[in-house]
Amino acid sequence: MTVTAPTQQLRVLAAPGHRHDEILTPAALDFVGRLVGAFAPRRRDLMKERRRQALRLASGSPLDFPMVTAAVRADDGWQVASPAPGLTDRRVEITGPPERRMAVNALNSGAQVWMADFEDATAPLWDNIVGGQLTLLDAVERRIDFTTSEGREYRLGDRLGTIMVRPRGWHLDEEHLEYDGRPVPAALVDFGLYFFHCAQRQIDAGHGPYFYLPKLENRYEARLWNDVFLLAQELLGIPRGTVRATVLIETITAAFEMEEILHELREHSAGLNAGRWDYLFSVIKTFGHRTDFLLPDRAKVTMTAPFMRAYTELLVRTCHRRGAHAIGGMAAQVPGKDASANEAALAKVRLDKEREAEDGFDGSWVAHPALVPVCREVFDGVLGARPHQLDRTRDEVEVTPADLLSVRRISGPPTTDGVRTNVSVALRYYSAWLRGQGAVAVDGLMEDAATAEIARVQIWQWLRHRVVGRETVEQVLDEEVAALGAEYPYMSVDDVRALFEQTALQSELPLFFTPGAYSRHLVRRAEVQA
């Protein structure tokens, strides 16, 4: 691959912050600029294709396994790369924002992997983005130890989890950087800055630059990531195939192209993950206009629902057929002070992880360090001393397009509690997000952008099909806004309410709440001469 110097300079359109100069070096910005120059046009074309595909599906076009790639699915001769150092045993993975306290707790938690999340768990304030890169650099350099003003010490131990980084999705822009007069793809910023500063450091430490890729909708978007990896490795002189990436299957269209996505990334693949809440969000967003896709309360859509069962069964079979890890979904419970509530929450986590381990998953996600022991115990019971169960190929599993789309089998009217829960979760998450916090505990669960998305699109879907009256939603909204204002009297709730009305109560459903809210509320441009 021939690489030329970028014709345009990457410009920083934000005021400098504490230690920003350690991340936003001329060489790092040049590296990101080369990635943007090479791939931003393709990314724009792919986003246009997303919109065209959405219109086709909305107009009644069937969703099926692609005929054009039937040969890829039928070919038993290809496998993904073997597990990379530090990614052989992934029985417990913990996720959270790249914040210093979270980093220390996660790396010390006993989980095999920490996924540092720039996407759903990070509100994209510029200080959060650059600060997250500093957190990762300091963690890799083992200089992240600190003591709080209250005297609490945070120190890295001897046995740490492997770091994986989840950059923002292809659909998001980073408006604090500009290339050729345009905002740059946020995915390339998060990937590029981490790769530039930490790839060789991670290799020297015995691991490598590892990633989670969110929100992919098809094989072409996976191919774009693979080409990004190839160019990044070439530019920094890192051997081809060193990068490894796990793809989150969290869109309904990606579920129909699991094998194709693995195939595109096969020399860089680290498997697939079942992103359950975003998956439900995608189902509603894609088919919310159809009455046969009307979902009941979120709490009633469990992983044993037929269409969710088909999705996870197909994921495990696909991964193990190709020698790839299959990683299960998030356990979002957050332990509190109530012992009986904690016991009930841990029992739910145990049942969820037992189902995943018995189905063949090689590991699973938790959101809190207190959940690591129960997840580990469950997977230890199935795996024993083995690092994974790739040998369980699940050849007996047969999943049809109809199975993946069988939502009507659990359809039902929402409850009053379901309406209130969705309004409350969306409002409370929006409130935290607008204050710069991307992960927040609400009623004993760790909520992030994915759960806020499913909460607001369910309200939209129920209103569209008139299974809930608008006056009911508006009354609940009034009450929950008042409760939020009483709980946080120092905060204006007008922006929070307006964001909910814009993203849940309009006739046209915004595809994501984040892009518009980011531009209106989180972007702080202060043009700086490069």
User: Which DSSP string do the residues of 468-528 spell out, in sequence order?
Assistant: S-HHHHHHHHHHHHHHHHHH-TTS--HHHHHHHHHHHSSSSPPS-SHHHHIIIII------
Question: Could you give the C-alpha distances from 99 to 57, 149, 164, 208, 379, in angstroms and in order?
Answer: 39, 17, 14, 21, 28
SS3 163: strand
Contact between 12 and 525 under an 8 Å Cβ cutoff? The reply is no
Q: Which residue has the tokens 């996600």?
A: 365
Hey, what's the torsion of the CAs at 212, 444, 493, 459, to 10 degrees? 70
The β-bridge relationship of strands 182-185 and 210-213 is unpaired
SS3 283: helix
Please tell me which residue in 166, 168, 219, 321 is annotated as part of the active site. Answer: 166
The β-bridge relationship of strands 445-447 and 440-442 is antiparallel
Please tell me which residue in 278, 448, 456, 497 is annotated as part of the active site. Answer: 448
What is the distance between the alpha carbons of residues 101 and 448, in angstroms, rounded to a whole number? 18
Q: Where are the alpha helices (DSSP H) in 237-326?
A: 252-255, 258-264, 276-287, 306-321
Please report how many Cα atoms fall inside a 13 Å half-sphere around the Cα of residue 117, on the Cβ side.
25
What is the distance between the alpha carbons of residues 514 and 250, in angstroms, rounded to a whole number? 17
Q: Which residue has the tokens 């997977």?
A: 379
**Max alpha carbon distance in the chain (Å)?**
62
Contact between 174 and 122 under an 8 Å Cβ cutoff? The reply is no
Q: Which residue has the tokens 């073997």?
A: 82
Note if 155 is an active site residue: no
Note if 166 is an active site residue: yes
Residue 33, C-beta contacts closer than 8 angstroms, at least 6 positions apart: 6, 8, 9, 10, 179
Please give, one letter per residue, the 3-state secondary structure of 88-131. Answer: CCCCEEEEECCCHHHHHHHHCCCCCEEEEECCCCCCCCHHHHHH
Residue (of 256, 245, 186) closest to 219 by Cα position? 256
Report the b/e string of 484-501 with b at 16+ CB within 10 A.
bbeeeeeeebeebbebbe
Question: Could you give the C-alpha distances from 379 to 14, 87, 95, 334, 520, in angstroms and in order?
Answer: 46, 16, 18, 20, 44
Q: In the structure encoding, which two tokens stand for residue 148, read together?
A: 């709080």
Report the catalytic residues: 166, 448
